[in-house]
Amino acid sequence: MSIHSFEELAALHAIAKILAQPQELRDQLELVLKEMSSRLGMQRGMISLLDRETGQAWLDVAHDVNIEGMDVTYQPGEGITGKVAQTGRPMAIANLDLEAHFLDRTGARRFLNRSELAFLCVPIIYDARVVGVLSADKVAHKVDNLDREMAMLSSVAELIAKAVHFRALEEENRRLRQIIGRSQTPSVDIVGRSKAMQEVFGLIAQVADSGTTVLIYGETGTGKELVARSIHLNSPRKAGPLVQVNCAAMPDTLIESELFGHEKGAFTGATHRQRGRFEEAHGGTIFLDEVDELSAAAQAKLLRVLQEKQFQLLGSSKIVTVNVRIIAATNRTLEQDVASGRFRADLYYRLNVFPIFLPPLRERGNDIILLADYFILKYSTIVEKPVKRITTAAMDALLSYHWPGNVRELENCIERAVLLAAGDSIDSIHLPPSLQMKTKEGGKKEQSKLNTVIEAQERALITDALKEAQGNQTRAAKMLGTTKRIIQYKIRKLAINPVRFRPKQGGMPPSPPKNT
């Protein structure tokens, strides 16, 4: 296993410090490429992002290369960048002039002598998936060991992997916001690109034109009312009313009266004839949220409406005929309620003609960031604050949280964060305490992992130097190109005992140090 030099460790440390700063992700990555150029001699550094669906790589950030106004993309397997993106394996070219697959899409090497350049290209892997590609040139005669150079570039790729992953999310969300009006999304109020949500959008498109009864399943806060509204607005009934009824919010004694209306004198306090929600929805759609909360009597009347499109007003023998489409929703498993006798089986089968299952937010992956961006735009406009983005730390917290309250909880979280934010970005300190704890734990783990890697490399490098210098700290410092004071500090910090490297008393005289 190769060990990084002191200069390489210093470069990794500088890159880690850059990534720890609260800056725009693109600015951070540009500074990383600048450090690679100034400290490691890796010129014309480039970072390409990977489209998860198509496998296409597009150039996003570059140093020493002017890509302004350019749209540089690589299909899977196209050129060196496309091959690395597709296979997830690094590639190194000792002499760029001899490589036929090098495309130079940016034209940055058009007037350079390619025979004097080596080209290094490594995958950027996050969560066991290729999220981007990191590449750079190096003057060929300065490359002593190509494998060592690749190991160093791979170390940089490991450090920037999370930032590149989030940068890809940012770009994906930006592109989505540009095309959201032309996408498959049936309503601008429903935001999502995950596979689960695309399936929901497809079902909405299939059922909207018909008059079929729909039953929406989903946990509290997943947006069942938005799906109902989208079905109505994309149906031939869109000119008619959409009447929303929360069945859980009405007491059993009033549900029948609320849904179907009552005649004057039907009960104490009924001073006039009252139209019910079904009559109000005539010619349109009625949305029965938490339909499982209906009483047995209300269930029986609802079944009659579904079967005959007719019902009786409370306290009257008069038959009222309505033309209403019914959309119901529940956060329960109605099959279990039917089995226990809590819900009528015949009503269940009438409602469950076209079921739509809404996934919980924790199963929607990167939709969390897309939704967060949407709510930032919404609430920054409402409260007139210049909040535009989410920092990497806050983004990490949002993605690692389990969201028991789903989209509604996320919306409340972002509304609060926008109110607390002092500048143009939401940081982890603006999130609720439950999310901040996740951030601190995650941050400690990431920092601990980085420190462990760097300290292990430093310990090995200093130990080897002390062995060669036979415990002499001054000579070890010279070998590493640093000062005795820094070496002493590192020895104390890393708990290295230099005495054990000194020659034993009474033994053979020490051999002279090797030339370095």
Q: Where are the beta strands (DSSP E) in 127-226?
A: 129-139, 214-217
Instruction: Return contacts of 316-322, CB within 8 angstroms, 24+ apart.
Output: 316/262, 316/263, 316/266, 318/263, 320/260, 320/261, 320/278, 320/279, 322/278, 322/279, 322/281, 322/282
Contact 467, 501 (CB under 8 A): yes
Alpha carbons 31 and 88: distance in angstroms, whole number: 25
Domain at 362-431, CATH from 3.40.50.300, 1.10.8.60, 1.10.510.10, 3.40.50.150: 1.10.8.60
Domain covering 437-501, topology: Arc Repressor Mutant, subunit A (1.10.10)
- Return all residues near 39 (Cβ < 8 A) that are at least 6 apart: 7, 10, 11, 14
**Residues 304-317: pLDDT tens digits?**
888 888 877 777 77
Mean pLDDT of 158-183: 72
List, for residues 34-72, the tens digit of each pLDDT value: 999 998 889 999 999 998 778 888 899 999 888 877 778
Give the pLDDT of residue 254: 75
User: How does residue 130 score in pLDDT terms, banded at 50, 70 and 90?
Assistant: very high
The residue with tokens 């440390």 is 13
Residue range 5-29: mean pLDDT, rounded: 86
pLDDT, tens only, 406-416 = 999 999 999 99
CA distances in angstroms from 299 to 211, 247, 313, 340, listed in the order given: 21, 11, 15, 15
Topology of domain 6-177, per CATH?
Beta-Lactamase (3.30.450)
Q: What are the backbone dihedrals phi and psi of residue 222, each rounded to the nearest 5 degrees, phi first? A: -85, -15
pLDDT at res. 120? 92
Interatomic CA distance for residues 47 and 63, integer angstroms: 9
Residue 407, CA distances (Å) to 200, 343, 388 in order: 15, 28, 20
**Do the domains 362-431 and 6-177 match in fold?**
no
Spatial neighbors of 442 by CB under 8 A, at least 6 apart, are 396, 397, 400
Checking if the pLDDT of 1 tops 70, the result is no
**N- to C-terminal Cα separation, the chain:** 20
SS3 130: strand
Alpha-carbon dihedral angle through residues 198, 203, 206, 208, given to the nearest 10 degrees: -110
HSE on the CB side for 196, CA within 13 Å?
14
Model confidence at 380: pLDDT above 80? yes
Take residue 421 and report the two structure tokens written for it.
């934010």
pLDDT of residue 19: 86
- Looking at residue 456, what is its pLDDT? 66
Helix-strand-coil percent breakdown of the chain, rounded to 5? 50, 15, 35
Q: How deeply is 465 buried, as exposed, middle or buried, from its count of CB atoms within 10 A (0-12, 13-18, 19+)?
A: buried
How many CB atoms neighbour CB 349 within 10 A? 12
Alpha carbon distance 327, 242 (integer Å): 10
- In tens, the pLDDT along 469-494 reads 888 888 888 888 777 777 887 887 77
- Per-residue pLDDT tens digits for 278-303: 889 999 999 999 999 888 888 988 88
pLDDT (tens digit per residue) in 180-191: 444 455 555 788
Query: Token pair for residue 251?
Result: 């007491």
The confidence band for 143, taking pLDDT boundaries of 50, 70 and 90, is confident
Mean pLDDT of the chain: 83
For the chain, what are the domain ranges?
Answer: 6-177, 195-358, 362-431, 437-501
Give yes or no for a contact between 255 and 211, defined as CB atoms under 8 angstroms apart: no
If DSSP codes are grouped into helix, strand and coil, which group holds residue 162? helix
CB 380 within 8 A of CB 417: no
Is this structure's pTM higher than 0.85?
no
Residues contacting 464, CB < 8 A, separation 6+: 3
What whole-number distance in Å separates Cα of residue 313 and Cα of residue 309?
13
Q: What is the pLDDT of residue 141?
A: 80
Reference 374, options 327, 414, 432; nearest CA is 414
Determine the pLDDT at residue 274. Answer: 78
Superfamily of domain 195-358: P-loop containing nucleotide triphosphate hydrolases (3.40.50.300)
**Residues belonging to the chain:** 516
Tell me the two tokens of residue 5: 């030099």
Q: What pLDDT does 3 receive?
A: 64
440 or 26, which is more confident: 26
> What sign has the CA pseudo-torsion 132, 165, 125, 364?
negative
Beta strand pairing call for 285-289 and 325-330: parallel
Q: pLDDT, tens digit, for every residue of 331-355?
A: 998 989 999 999 999 999 999 999 9
